């Protein structure tokens, strides 16, 4: 499974970056930055940004106003190492598949993690920001060492494994047609793997991407899941039934089946987002709309730095690649003390309404 995941995320990364370069051929090429982790592993960070006017590189690049994207990144990482008992104990609180592991008894355990993570911040305020992430995590038994031909590290029998991920949309200005297209595309991919997949993941997404201190969602949702393995999952159990069938029976359960679902969802990213970006990036906009976009990006920053588990985990991990972790942040953001934008009856208020009261955009 390790090699299959590594091969898939590498292929998906190249497809996504190539699609954005094709969409805006006159823009600067994406920077492809390969890196290695001293503690074990490697990655490839693909990042888009227009050089700042004060940078010497700006003379060879188009002006900011000429690009579809303002800042974007598509990263993959394939890392392995040793997980100390304290880290395993902390992770048990969030991962049911680790409940059977006794960190005091087992001691440090080998781990493997591979994933793709992307955030796209368009320049036009009418084009939404999008985020997607798909990952695989495995903890192995050090007593059962086999040779992993893919990476030459010792690969023990998995003691626990899971998949996680999702995809969500964050608009500054609400277009119902965009929201419906985005959700319908994800739903159609998800329902091929069980009737419960979309409804559970959609609800989970609304719950996860929420800013309690603001009382609003980060965006208009999508899909989110974590800790998905062959074990019973409390999110599915708590959801109840879908079509008269317990939700936990209406989803993939084997490692191969879950991985196939992850691939189908990952392959849905481009058709779910590119048509929206193509249309909205051509919409004329005003300085006031740009100001609102920057205010909404401020909320994006707040969520990522305060609540996002992946960001927090990365910042606390020794030897973490900080530039790649903070790739998700927008190039510019804004905060105003009691802003006068968003008053009732305005276009800005339309998006605030659905952020405070999430809407079900498509039927299950």
Which residues are designated catalytic?
131
In residues, how long is the chain? 364
Number of helices (H) and strands (E), helices first, in the chain? 12, 11
- CB neighbour list of residue 124: distance below 8 Å, 6 or more residues apart: 68, 280, 281, 282, 283, 285
- CB neighbour list of residue 335: distance below 8 Å, 6 or more residues apart: 295, 298
C-alpha 92/C-alpha 226 separation (Å) is 13
Cα torsion 196, 202, 208, 211 to 10°: value is -150
H or E element: which one contains 271?
A: helix 269-280
SS3 116: strand
CA distances from 2 to 76, 143, 206, 300 (A): 14, 19, 30, 32
């Amino acid at each position: 499974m390790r090699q299959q995941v590594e091969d898939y995320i590498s292929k998906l990364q190249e497809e996504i970056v190539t699609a954005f370069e094709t969409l805006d051929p006159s823009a600067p090429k994406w920077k492809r930055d390969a890196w290695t982790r001293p503690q074990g592993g490697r990655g490839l960070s693909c990042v888009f940004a227009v050089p700042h006017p004060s940078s010497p590189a700006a003379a060879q690049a188009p002006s900011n106003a000429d690009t579809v994207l303002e800042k974007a990144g598509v990263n993959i990482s394939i890392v392995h190492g040793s997980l100390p008992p304290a880290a395993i104990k902390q992770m048990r609180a969030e991962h049911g598949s680790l409940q059977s592991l006794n960190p005091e008894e087992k001691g440090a355990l080998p781990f493997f993690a591979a994933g793709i993570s992307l955030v796209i911040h368009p320049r036009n305020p009418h084009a939404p920001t999008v985020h997607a992430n798909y990952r695989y995590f495995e903890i192995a038994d050090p007593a059962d060492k086999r040779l992993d031909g893919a990476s030459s590290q010792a690969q023990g029998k998995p003691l626990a494994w899971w998949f996680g991920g999702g995809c969500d949309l964050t608009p500054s200005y609400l277009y119902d047609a965009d929201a419906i297209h985005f959700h319908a595309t994800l739903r159609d991919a998800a329902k091929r793997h069980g009737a419960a997949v979309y409804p559970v993941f959609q609800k989970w997404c609304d719950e996860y991407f929420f800013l309690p201190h603001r009382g609003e969602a980060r965006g208009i949702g999508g899909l989110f899941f974590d800790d998905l393995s062959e074990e019973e999952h409390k999110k599915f159990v708590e959801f109840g039934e879908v079509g008269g069938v317990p939700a936990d029976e209406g989803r993939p359960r084997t490692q191969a089946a879950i991985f196939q679902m992850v691939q189908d969802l990952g392959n849905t990213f481009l058709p779910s987002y590119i048509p929206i970006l193509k249309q909205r990036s051509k919409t004329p906009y005003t300085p006031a709309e740009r100001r609102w976009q920057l205010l909404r990006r401020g909320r994006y920053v707040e969520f990522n730095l305060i609540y996002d588990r992946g960001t927090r985990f990365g910042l606390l991990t020794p030897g973490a690649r900080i530039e790649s972790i903070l790739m998700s942040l927008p190039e510019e953001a804004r905060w105003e003390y009691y802003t006068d934008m968003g008053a009732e009856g305005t276009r800005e208020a339309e998006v605030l309404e659905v952020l405070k009261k999430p809407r079900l955009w498509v039927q299950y």
